[in-house]
Amino acid sequence: MNAATSESPRNFDGARHPHNIVVGVCGGIAAFKACQLVREFTEGGDQVRVIPTNSALQFVGAATFEALSGNPVSTSVFEDVHEVAHVRYGQEADGIVIAPATADFLARVAAGRADDLLAATVLVATCPVVIAPAMHTEMWNNPATQANVATLRERGIVVLNPAVGRLTGKDSGAGRLPDPSHIAAVARTVFSGASMEHNLTGVNVLISAGGTQEVIDPVRFIGNHSSGRQGFALAEIAVQRGATVTLVAANNSTLPNPPGVKVIPVETTVELQHAMHNQAEGADVIIMAAAVADFRPAKPAEHKMKKSQGDAGLSTIELVENPDVLASLVEARAGGSLAAETVIMGFAAETGDDKQSILEYAQDKLQSKGCDVLMCNEVGPGKVFGQTTNQGFLLDSDGTVTEVAAGSKHVVSAQIWDKLALLL
């Protein structure tokens, strides 16, 4: 590598290490989802101790949590007094996750209460604490709850945004517990040392994700292996840091919508370009993380082409070039359609060859696209596309190259946002 490499944006270890995790469970209808959360951690190699409130045990029995975690369950500070459990659990934990957290629990923690084992554990803890609230919309929007959330965030506790969807009974709205896999991914990112500081408050972010599909006929298409995980993770980390986020998602059918993110589904590259330009006005940061097709069939067939009938289109497909979405956004900024201070970031999925390395190809792409930052990563069998991990290099327009350490796509997203926050 010829270019100088600077230090990582943040000094944290993005590698996956087992953690000693306390999972707190409060009394709400979403308590049953804590079972899946415990399994997410234990199957990842983490040691888990579940501390429910008394109310939580009205929804899920202690035996279930003990079977899933492999550890005994208690709720009172007067159990195992000789072990001083209400102090020891908080001292020994690498991280604490409360899911679901009720409005009452948020109020008790904000007030510094220690009237049960879970609240006492949080009060003792010096490790990272992640809280995933779940309650009715009116309770979440109540000024008292919002004030408690703001207080907890000011103290360094990570309070996740609730999802929007079906609640208890016939009600729907903000207050639904996020998907347990999402909670686990964000929690592990926090436990790795990544910051969830609200340093993006007031920032409007536009992100594209996924792989575009170009229609050949009603049942066939040209596509790629992109899962959209990196773009979704970027959106999730941004919204947790306080940003207002719009996500243009190409052909996503497996990933849950990130809580608090506006999602616009698209299929083709042309649709993605239209959506990005329609949403770009007012964006402070635009990230093109989608894997877009370079070409599309010139004349998609209206009916399924039949191999048995010798359709020539199946053996010879005439292609036309797709628009360069990243370059068009840079051009829009240069032409005044977007604010001059809009930060634009692209991605370069490279393989390298006997002519140039992946980094050299990425440097060429950065120059030709004219964006401010480019994430370069090596793709191939078992690398990046469809995987849960990523790594690579961040290239700045001034020639600086920053290595992005290997880690989950959420951890990589945290490193990217550390870099982008500096540009803002």
Q: How much helix, strand and coil, in percent to the nearest 5, is found in the chain?
A: 35, 25, 40
CA pair distance 98, 260, nearest whole angstrom: 19
- The three-state secondary structure class of 10 is coil
**If you write DSSP's letter for every residue of 371-386 in order, what string do you get?**
-SEEEEEE-BTTBSTT
CA pair distance 309, 305, nearest whole angstrom: 8
Confirm or deny that 109 is annotated as ligand binding.
Answer: no
Confirm or deny that 364 is annotated as ligand binding.
Answer: no
| Active-site pick, 148, 204, 224, 251 | 224
Confirm or deny that 133 is annotated as ligand binding.
Answer: no
CA pair distance 1, 287, nearest whole angstrom: 25
For the chain, first and last CA: distance in Å? Answer: 28
Confirm or deny that 409 is annotated as ligand binding.
Answer: no
Confirm or deny that 326 is annotated as ligand binding.
Answer: yes
Confirm or deny that 325 is annotated as ligand binding.
Answer: yes
CA pair distance 85, 82, nearest whole angstrom: 8
User: What is the enclosing helix (H) or strand (E) of 355?
Assistant: none
**Known catalytic residue: 224?**
yes
Residue 128 in contact with residue 87, Cβ under 8 Å?
Answer: no
Confirm or deny that 324 is annotated as ligand binding.
Answer: yes
**If you write DSSP's letter for every residue of 202-237 in order, what string do you get?**
T-EEEEEEEB--EEEETTEEE-----SHHHHHHHHH
CA pair distance 171, 101, nearest whole angstrom: 19
Residues of each annotated binding site: 294, 304, 323-326, 347, 365, 369
Known catalytic residues are 224
Residues of each annotated binding site for CTP: 294, 304, 323-326, 347, 365, 369
